[in-house]
C-alpha cells in the first residue's frame, strides 16, 4: 500500500516552490528595479537643482555598470549643465557609437556644440536628429537658433515657423521669430549732466551721440558735448570704432578734440581690448567680460595717462557686477609726475519688467574728463541710476551721485538721457 503525502506536506512543498520562484524573479528583476531607483533619484536631484549629488549618483551607477547607456546619457547631460562641455561631448559620442539613432542624445550633443559655438557641426547633428524625428518641435527650434547664429535668417525663420505649425503656442518659437525682426542698427542719444558744488557755482554739460552697428564685426560711435564750467564755455567732439575680430574679442580705438577753455582736455586718445568668457550655465557666475583700457589726456597745463583694468561678472537673474581699477599718472608744470589710483564697483539688477537699476561706489580721483578732477583731491563717491525701457526702441536713463571730497568739499551730480534706436 502506497503512502500518500498528507495535505500539510503538499502545502509545504507548494510554499517551497513559490518561495524559490520569488527568489529567482527577485534576483532577475533587481537590476531593473535598481536602475529605476537611481534614475528616479537623479531626476529628483535635477529638479531640486542639486546637480552635484546627481553627478555622484550617476558616477556610482557607472562604477557598477560602465556600459549602461542610460547612465552615460545622464552623465553627458549633467556634465553639460555644469559647464564641462568637452567631457559631455565625449559621453554623448560614446553613446552615439552604440546607438547612432538616438535623437535625444543627438540633441544633447548639439546643445554642447552650440554652447561651444561650433555652429556648423551642431547644425549637422541637428539635421540628423530631425531626419529621425521630423516633427519634434524642440529640434526645429534648435535648428532655428543655430541658423540664426550663422546669420542664415531666412532658413531660421522657416524652422521657427515649422515649430509653430506643430505647436502654435510654443513661446520659444514666437521668441525666435521675434528675434529675427530687423534690429535697429543706430542709436541716437541726447542728455544733460549737472554738477552742484558747495564751494563754487554749478557746472552743466549737454551731449548728443550716435552709435551705429554696421555689421556683427564693426561699430562706430560719435558724440558732441558742450560744457559750462567755472564761468567758461567748452566743447568737445569724440569718435571711436570697435572691431569684434572674434566672437569673444574686441578692439576699440578712439580720440577726442576740444575747444577746452582750460576746463576739459584739449585732446584725448585711447584704446581698449576686451574679451569675454563663458562660465557655468548653472553656477553663480554665468559669464565674464574683461577689458584693458589705456587713455591719454592733454590739458592746457597737465598731462594724464590712465590705465584701467575692468571686469564684469554676469550673475543669475540678470544681475551684473562690475569692478575697475585705474592707476593714473599726472604731470603738472614745475612738479614731478605722480601716480594716483582710483576704483569703481557697480551692481546692476532688474527692478521691474522694464526697469533696470544700478548702484555704484567709487574711491579716488576717478573722473579724468575735467581739469578739476585730476591730482588735486581724494574723494569717495556713491550713487545709483535707472534705465526705463519705454518701448522696444526707446528708453530713458538717469543717475544721481554724491561725492565727498577732501577739504570739506562736496559735489552732487545728476543727469538724464533719452535714447532712440532706428
On whether the CB atoms of residues 152 and 180 are closer than 8 A, the answer is no
115: left (phi over 0), alpha (psi -120 to 50) or beta: alpha
Q: Which of 35-49, 232-246, 363-377 has the highest mean pLDDT?
A: 232-246
Mean pLDDT of 252-267: 95
Check residue 408 and give its pLDDT: 87
On whether the CB atoms of residues 403 and 377 are closer than 8 A, the answer is no
Is the pLDDT confidence value at 30 over 50?
no
End-to-end Cα, the chain, rounded Å = 110
303 vs 336: CA distance, rounded Å: 11
Write the pLDDT tens digit of every residue in 147-165: 999 989 999 999 999 999 9
Q: Nearest-CA neighbor of 180 among 206, 151, 213, 138?
A: 151
Is the pLDDT confidence value at 355 over 80?
yes
Mean pLDDT of 262-279: 93
225 phi, psi to nearest 5 deg: -130, 135
* pLDDT bucket at 24, cuts 50 / 70 / 90: very low
Q: Nearest-CA neighbor of 234 among 222, 224, 221?
A: 224
Calculate what percentage of the chain has a pLDDT beyond 90. 70
188 vs 419: CA distance, rounded Å: 6
Mean pLDDT of 405-415: 91
On whether the CB atoms of residues 401 and 381 are closer than 8 A, the answer is yes
- pTM metric for this prediction: 0.70
Strands 338-352 and 303-314: unpaired
Check residue 369 and give its pLDDT: 61
Mean pLDDT of 210-225: 95
Check residue 338 and give its pLDDT: 85
Q: Nearest-CA neighbor of 122 among 100, 149, 98?
A: 149
Is the pLDDT confidence value at 208 over 70?
yes
269 vs 253: CA distance, rounded Å: 8
Mean pLDDT of 359-378: 72
Question: What value does the mean pLDDT of the chain take?
Answer: 88
Grid cell listed for 189? 542719444
Check residue 335 and give its pLDDT: 78
Is the pLDDT confidence value at 15 over 60?
no
- Sorted by where each starts, the structural domains of the chain and their CATH numbers stand as 16-179 (1.25.40.10), 186-421 (2.40.160.40)
Check residue 27 and give its pLDDT: 42
Amino acid at each position: 500500500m502506497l503512502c500518500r503525502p498528507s495535505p500539510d506536506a503538499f502545502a509545504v512543498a507548494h510554499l517551497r516552490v513559490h518561495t524559490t520562484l520569488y527568489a529567482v524573479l527577485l534576483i532577475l528583476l533587481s537590476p531593473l528595479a535598481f536602475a529605476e531607483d537611481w534614475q528616479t533619484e537623479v531626476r529628483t536631484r535635477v529638479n531640486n537643482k542639486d546637480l552635484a549629488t546627481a553627478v555622484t549618483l550617476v558616477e556610482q551607477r557607472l562604477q557598477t555598470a560602465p556600459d549602461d547607456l542610460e547612465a552615460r546619457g545622464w552623465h553627458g547631460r549633467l556634465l553639460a549643465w555644469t559647464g564641462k562641455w568637452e567631457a559631455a561631448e565625449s559621453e554623448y559620442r560614446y553613446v552615439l557609437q552604440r546607438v547612432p539613432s538616438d535623437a535625444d542624445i543627438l540633441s544633447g550633443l548639439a546643445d554642447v556644440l552650440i554652447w561651444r559655438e561650433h555652429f556648423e557641426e551642431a547644425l549637422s547633428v541637428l539635421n540628423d536628429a530631425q531626419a529621425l524625428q521630423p516633427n519634434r518641435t524642440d529640434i526645429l527650434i534648435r535648428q532655428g537658433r543655430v541658423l540664426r547664429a550663422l546669420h542664415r535668417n531666412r532658413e531660421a525663420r522657416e524652422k521657427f515657423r515649422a515649430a509653430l505649425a506643430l505647436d502654435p503656442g510654443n513661446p520659444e518659437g514666437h521668441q525666435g521669430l521675434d528675434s529675427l525682426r530687423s534690429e535697429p542698427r543706430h542709436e541716437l542719444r541726447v542728455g544733460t549732466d549737472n554738477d552742484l558744488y558747495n564751494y563754487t557755482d554749478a557746472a552743466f554739460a549737454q551731449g548728443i551721440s550716435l552709435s551705429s552697428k554696421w555689421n556683427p564685426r564693426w561699430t562706430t560711435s560719435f558724440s558732441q558735448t558742450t560744457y559750462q564750467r567755472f564761468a567758461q564755455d567748452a566743447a568737445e567732439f569724440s569718435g571711436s570704432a570697435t572691431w569684434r575680430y572674434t566672437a569673444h574679442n574686441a578692439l576699440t580705438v578712439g580720440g577726442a578734440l576740444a575747444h577746452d577753455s582750460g576746463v576739459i582736455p584739449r585732446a584725448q586718445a585711447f584704446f581698449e581690448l576686451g574679451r569675454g568668457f563663458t562660465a557655468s550655465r548653472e553656477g553663480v557666475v554665468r559669464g565674464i567680460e574683461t577689458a584693458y583700457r589705456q587713455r591719454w589726456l592733454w590739458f592746457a597745463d597737465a598731462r594724464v595717462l590712465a590705465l584701467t583694468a575692468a571686469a564684469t561678472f554676469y550673475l543669475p537673474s540678470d544681475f551684473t557686477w562690475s569692478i575697475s581699477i585705474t592707476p593714473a599718472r599726472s604731470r603738472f608744470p614745475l612738479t614731478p609726475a605722480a601716480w594716483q589710483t582710483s576704483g569703481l564697483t557697480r551692481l546692476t539688477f532688474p527692478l521691474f519688467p522694464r526697469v533696470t537699476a544700478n548702484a555704484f561706489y567709487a574711491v579716488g580721483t576717478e573722473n579724468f574728463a575735467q581739469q578739476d578732477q585730476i591730482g588735486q583731491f581724494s574723494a569717495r563717491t556713491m550713487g545709483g541710476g535707472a534705465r526705463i525701457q519705454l518701448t522696444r526702441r526707446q528708453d530713458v536713463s538717469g543717475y544721481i551721485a554724491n561725492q565727498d571730497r577732501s577739504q570739506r568739499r562736496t559735489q552732487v551730480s545728476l543727469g538724464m538721457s533719452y535714447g532712440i534706436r532706428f
